[in-house]
Structure 1
Amino acid sequence: MEFQRARRPEQVEQRRRAILDTACAMLRERPVAQISLRELSDRVGLAKSNVLRYFDSREAIFLEVLDRELGAWLDEVEESLGSLGPDGSVGGAEAVARVVAATLSGRPLLCELISGMAGVLERNIPVDFARVVKRRANEHQARLANLVRARVPVLGEAAAHHFATSVLVMTAGLWPHANPTDAVARVMRELGGPPAGELVREGLTEGLVNQLVGLVVRA
């Protein structure tokens, strides 16, 4: 892919989209920690210095992808929860948690980025950009909390936000197990463990159900 220098706003946006789309494609091949800015630039067809005209750093690219993916996921969550009315029972909480877990585990690219957010992507960003990143993250977290609270109205605001935080923490902890080395995957099979992807799906479902049901009981 060859580009001439972008001069008009629409050309700049085209370059940014190309860079983000390429980053997404590479994330389907390997973990974010293994993707360098040079490799990404080569894949896009731009010099590294040119990529940095559109994004401040490698981390900024993947954090932008994360923001985009979180928004798309929450759109899906909102649509999937649309058929559920307000229900403060244990059964209602379980249904909501299962929707959250199913939609999230069905988005491996998003899970990969969440798992690398604190340990990789936020390690090399300046204060001004960190403010932007964390503000966006807080907005997504608040949206998830509000979606959950609308269906489980017995929850207080703090409890709903606690659940939203737990979603990210559980995903970050479980997702690396979905991508073991060949040696570890082999041993897991020998020990009769579930396939890695199933482990994450079941772990998220069980963990989030227990979390939300527990918060409802305490409420």
Structure 2
Amino acid sequence: MMVATHGFQRARRPEQIEARRCAILDAARAMLGSKPVADISLRELSESVGLAKSNVLRYFDSREAIFLEVLDENWVAWLDGLSESLTPTSDDSPFAAEIHVASAVAESLVSQRLLCELMSVMAGVLERNISADFARDFKRRATVNSGRFASLIHSQLPHLSEGDAAQFAKVTLVIVAGLWPTAEPTESMVVVLNEMQAPPASDMFAFGLREGLINQLVGLSARAATRTS
């Protein structure tokens, strides 16, 4: 399929470049609404925005760089929502605060399908085909996002050290990345899971994420208590 690129003019002014980048990101977001990132090629993405692949690559390093940009904006938006939704609990029973915070984090992530999907392929796929300059910039932003998440956890659980909160932030990403593939099984696997009378995959993801985060946060708090006793 040939791409209709007649009338294409290279964006030269900063506002033109930004507008072209936004158009490409809009196309990527729209496609991610109907298919997983693994099924979206650079050719297909280029065609959807009406540009040749070479023209898309004038604005982004690669297909992977485009999706990392989408990941970053979803990461920031999730943190914005989480900062507003995290509230203290009045339950003062042992580890109630940790369970409350971990459950709130898990619930907020379950509602962020796209973020979870992109996190699940971040290290293994999306970071494999980018330049050093883009990698440096993305890692800087990812570090800021992770640090912001750790600060939110520390503000809710001040008895945890900043290092412990940072560790929880890192482990959260690992747990999401590990569990997410099970949330969207293939058609064949759905048949098998139904035969086994297993819960829906989405329910198993939500349960596994909540339990994993609770165990991590309770464990970190228990270790912190032994250091101060």
Normalised by the length of structure 1, the TM-score is 0.93
Question: Does the 8 Å contact 2:89/2:100 carry over to 1?
Answer: no
What CA distance in whole angstroms lies between the structure 2 residues aligned with 1:47 and 1:116? 25
DSSP-derived class of the 1:25 partner:
helix
- Residue 50 of structure 2: aligned partner: 45
Q: Are 1:138 and 2:150 counterparts?
A: no
Matched, 1:107 2:123: no
Partner secondary structure for residue 35 of structure 2: coil
The equivalent position to 1:84 in structure 2, one of 81, 88, 91, is 88
Aligned positions of 1:15-94 closer than 5 A: 15-81=20-86, 83-84=87-88, 90-94=95-99
SS of the aligned residue for 1:53 comes to coil
Cα 1:188–1:13 shift into 2, 3 Å: same
Which runs of no fewer than 5 residues in structure 1 stay unpaired? Answer: none
Deviation at 1:87, TM superposition (A): 9.1
Q: Tell me which residue corresponds to 1:118.
A: 123
Retained in 1: the 8 A contact 2:61–2:131?
Answer: no
* Structure 2 unaligned blocks of 5 or more: 225-229
CA contact (8 A) 2:116 2:177 kept: yes
Distance 1:153 1:90 in 2: 13
Q: Which structure is larger by alpha-carbon Rg, 1 or 2?
A: 2
From the two aligned structures, give the one with the greater helix fraction: 1
RMSD, matched Cα: 2.0
* Aligned-pair CA distance for 1:211: 1.0
Structure with bigger RCO (C-alpha 8 Å, 6+ apart): 1
Q: Which of residues 203, 214, 221 in structure 2 aligns to 1:209?
A: 214
Query: What CA distance in whole angstroms lies between the structure 1 residues aligned with 2:162 and 2:153?
Result: 10
- Distance, in Å, in 2 between the alignment partners of 1:210 and 1:45 is 48
One-letter amino acid of the counterpart of residue 8, structure 1: R
Runs (4+) off by over 6 Å? 85-88
Aligned length: 218
